[in-house]
Each structure stands twice: as C-alpha cells, then as structure tokens.
Copies of this chain bind each other. A is one copy, B any other.
Amino acid sequence: MVTRSEENYLKAIYHLGKQGTVAVSTNAIAEKIESKASSVTDMIKKLAEKNLANYIKYQGVTLTESGRLAAALVIRKHRLWEVFLVEKLNFTWDEVHDVAEQLEHIKSPKLVNELDALLGFPTHDPHGDPIPDKDGHYTPLKSVNILEVEPGNEGVLARVIDSSDVFLKYLNKNNLALGDTIKVLDFEPFDHSLTIETATKKMIISNAVAKNLFISQEL
C-alpha cells in the first residue's frame, strides 16, 4: 500500500524531475512539499525500499517505472477531481486546488474511471494541465510560453503553470481566463515585462506573470 504521504512525495518528484526521469535534489523536494530535508531523506529511503524510487546517497532521486505510474495516477485523480469541481459543483479555478489535494488520495479504481466517464473523458484540467490516462500517459498540448511569442502575434490562453489561488485570483481580477485570445504587443527589455491585448483591454503584465501563461497558436 502507498500511503498518502508517500503519494505526495511521488507527485513532487514527478513534477520536479520531468516525470521523475531526472534526478531531483533533497532540498528541492523539501521546498515543494514544505517540509525539511531530513524528513525528505527518510521518505526517499522508504520509497526506494518499496521500489518506487531510485536513490543514491547525495545524488538525488528518480522514480522507477512503478513509481512513475503511481505518481501519474495520483495526478490523474487530482486533475479529474478539479474538472469535476468546476464542471459539476460550481467551483472556480482558484478554489479547486486544496480540495483536489485531498480527493486525489481516495482509493477506488472504479471511482476514478466512472468519474472520468461522467466528465466525458476530459483531456485537460481547469488550468490547462493534461490529464494522464489509466496507463499514466498523456500528450501535452502544444502550447508556447507567451514570452516566446513575437510581438504582433496572438493565440489562445491554453494553460497556466502556477495553480495557486493568489495567482489565479490575479488573473480573475484582470479578466484573463483559459480560452481567451491574447495578442502580444510589446516586450520591454528593461524588466522583461510584456504589453498584451485581450478582447476587453490592453495591459502590462510582469515577467513573473508572463512566465506562467501558455498560449496555443493555430497555424
């Protein structure tokens, strides 16, 4: 059995190390999971013991094949629940994360698959993140960071990386939502900020914000 805590560590390693294929440092995990390095070392040993992670002292962790699958299935649940909360229970995209963080640990294969069906087999969650299938696979949607877009070009907001409620509330406040068409007007070399235009207005977004916005451009 994989415990709740173990699942959270698997997810962190998966996210930090390109699906767990690249070695992740103890400190990086500690920060992500808001714990201490010593706690992480303990847990990593346990994961290695259970053949979910590959661990060499002082050289970070990667996930084994089964660790990677386990992580992907937790992420699958997390994202399906997020869709459920938004589509069926009137949650906004900035309200779903904490509840999904709990729901992702519910154990019932039937529940996950039926939920998937109820929602019409969605491919992406409310933040544009792809939903892995039963085998842990997904095809990331073709989107590009808004900072890579040449001024003058436009695209549809397809994904936001930061799912924290502070960031999403900022987007709400500025009327930016998934699916909105955004045109890049100007890049400012001094502070790396960006002037963009939406259906409703023109605005300047900081580099910190821009880093989190991904748009898809139809060819």
Contacts and interface: CB of A to CB of B under 8 A. Distances in A.
Contacts of A103: 106
21 contacts: A85-B111, A88-B118, A89-B110, A89-B111, A89-B114, A89-B115, A89-B118, A90-B114, A91-B110, A91-B114, A95-B110, A98-B108, A99-B106, A99-B108, A99-B110, A99-B111, A102-B106, A102-B107, A102-B108, A103-B106, A106-B106
Interface in A95-148: 95, 98-99, 102-103, 106-108, 110-111, 114-115, 118
Interface residues of A, number: 18
A123 to B, nearest CB: 20
Interface in A50-107: 85, 88-91, 95, 98-99, 102-103, 106-107
A111 B118 CA distance: 17
A115 B118 CA distance: 15
A111 to B, nearest CB: 6
* Residue in A91, A98, A108, A110 whose Cβ sees the most chain B Cβ within 10 Å: A108
A31 to B, nearest CB: 24
Contacts of A118: 88-89
* Residue in A111, A114, A115 whose Cβ sees the most chain B Cβ within 10 Å: A111
Contacts of A95: 110
A111 B81 CA distance: 11
A17 to B, nearest CB: 29
Contacts of A99: 106, 108, 110-111
Nearest to A90: B114
A106 B89 CA distance: 15
Nearest to A89: B114
Contacts of A85: 111
A91 B115 CA distance: 11
A212 to B, nearest CB: 25
Contacts of A91: 110, 114
